[in-house]
Amino acid sequence: MTRLGIGLDFGTTNSALAMAGAEGSPRVATFAARDGETPFFRSVLYVGREDREDLLESAAGPLAIERYLANEGERRLMQSLKSFLGSRLFTSTNLFGRTTTLEELIGRIARAVWSEGGGAECAQRAAVVVGRPVRFARAKGVEDDAFAVSRLESALSLAGIERFAFELEPVAAAYHYEQGLDRDELVLIADFGGGTSDFCVLRVGPGARGRARREEDVLGTDGVGIAGDAFDAKLVRHLIAPRLGRGTVHDTLFGRAIPVPGWIYADLERWHHLSFLRSPKTLALLHEIRRGASEPEQISALIHIVERDLGYALYRAIERTKTELSQQEESVFRFDDPPVSIEARVRRAEFEEWIADEVAEIAACVDRLLERTGESEVDRVFMTGGSSFVPAVRRIFEERFGPERLRSGAELTSVASGLALCARDRAGQRTR
């Protein structure tokens, strides 16, 4: 029997798929996009209403973004759906009059990754391993975590993925990391996604590979529901929201000035929630607020962004600024969609002040894991995921271990690659 392993990393922001044959390194699947082939698949879902009111069209990944940008009619673009798996409050949403469950939404994205990446073609002769975080975002305990797992299982089943096993995402990243090792190491894996940051201390290297892995190779795991989305939210709060009326007041019918409701800006901070503000009720409220607003032009700009559903455009502008702040000491945030134009200069030091609480929570999670395992002197730290580039995050590990022990690479595909290797190992065990 052919030893073939398939690894599916369904991520909050990006997903990836990889396959590992009997020998050699895994092959990471590529996906068609406007600018060419890409090794990662945006975990986004587009749903739009076509000319016939009873007909909805949907798309996932790069195609979803293209459809969203090309269609100015009734449309929704949803991202970070994985981060809701642990929440019992989000069970379904209304899509143009149709109730659709969270599992169905995630299933549509997973099906696209699975089919476009070639997983469906090989599934009958392969072992399949799917990644999961150590702690699901919004999961408050063991019961919520089990609830999230069951929902993810249901979503994968709806995607046509019937036989699979789960592996912790940081453990999978360790499989990827150890490919290049010629000696055994005790390593701390730090995996930063869009919704969670996960950590694992484990033994890797030729010794572990040669004797088959044991449960005791994993000394400990921990995680926290804070990652890239939380950093994005702070940039929105400080750079965008104040220019769209946050902190201003408006007059009521009774002549009393009250603050513009904060929940509006809470949805703005999660750009994938911006579509929720397009409801007739909320838009009527915004127009009423503008009539008595102390800063009516700012509320007008907010209404423009909501009516045109510009959440994705805002997100891209925030992403550019965050990337620049990881590379240089200062950046200029720019967002233009006439008549709205926002420009704001931001220093890295300011950004680090805004995310200080989140970084402290991540650091506390790392310290908690090291204390519990008693392994503060690891040989290496392997950092992966998009937020591993953020200097304030890297300093957590530089201060504890020294920069010479830090390693990184394949930030958006290492987990998928490791999952495929894990699946190959399991396929080999079945054939012995």
| Sequence-separated (6 or more) residues with CB below 8 Å from residue 192 | 227, 228, 383, 384, 385, 386, 387, 388, 393
Residue 415 lies in a domain: yes
Q: Domain of residue 78: give its range.
A: 5-183+410-431
Residue 28 lies in a domain: yes
Residue 133 lies in a domain: yes
Q: How far is CA 110 from CA 33, 82, 146, 404, in A?
A: 17, 11, 20, 38
Residue 76 lies in a domain: yes
Task: List, in sequence order, every residue forming a beta bridge with 344; answer none if it has no partner.
Answer: 333
The helix/strand/coil state of 190 is strand
pLDDT in tens, 267-316: 899 876 787 788 889 999 999 999 999 999 999 999 999 998 888 899 99
Residue 368 is predicted with a pLDDT of: 97
Please tell me what DSSP assigns to residue 244: G
pTM of this prediction? Answer: 0.91
Is residue 419 within 8 A of residue 167, CB to CB? The reply is: yes
Is residue 188 within 8 A of residue 222, CB to CB? The reply is: no
For residue 133, whether the previous peptide bond is cis, meaning omega lies within 30 degrees of 0, is no
How would DSSP label each residue in 284-320?
Answer: HHHHHHHHTBSSHHHHHHHHHHHHTT-HHHHHHHHHH
Residue 116 lies in a domain: yes
Q: How far is CA 111 from CA 124, 135, 309, in A?
A: 16, 24, 26
Residue 429 is predicted with a pLDDT of: 61
Characterise 226 by phi-psi region: left (phi > 0), alpha (psi -120 to 50), beta (else): beta
Please tell me what DSSP assigns to residue 221: E
Quote the number of domains for the chain. Answer: 1
C-beta atoms surrounding 157 within 10 Å: 14
Residue 28 is predicted with a pLDDT of: 97
Q: Residues of the chain whose pLDDT is less than 70?
A: 1-2, 50-55, 211-212, 272, 428-432
Residue 53 is predicted with a pLDDT of: 56
Residue 187 is predicted with a pLDDT of: 97
Residue 10 lies in a domain: yes
Residue 409 is predicted with a pLDDT of: 87
How would DSSP label each residue in 32-63?
Answer: EETTEEESSEE-EEEEEE-SSTT-EEEEEHHH
| Sequence-separated (6 or more) residues with CB below 8 Å from residue 106 | 10, 81, 82, 85, 151, 152, 155, 159
Pairing of strands 197-204, 185-192: antiparallel
The H or E element spanning position 391 is helix 391-401
Residue 358 is predicted with a pLDDT of: 97
pLDDT in tens, 201-259: 999 998 877 766 777 889 999 999 999 999 999 999 999 999 999 999 999 877 789 99
CATH number of the domain within which 85 lies: 3.30.420.40
Distance CA 90, CA 84 (A): 7
Residue 232 lies in a domain: no
Distance CA 91, CA 99 (A): 10
Residue 431 is predicted with a pLDDT of: 43
Distance CA 179, CA 196 (A): 25
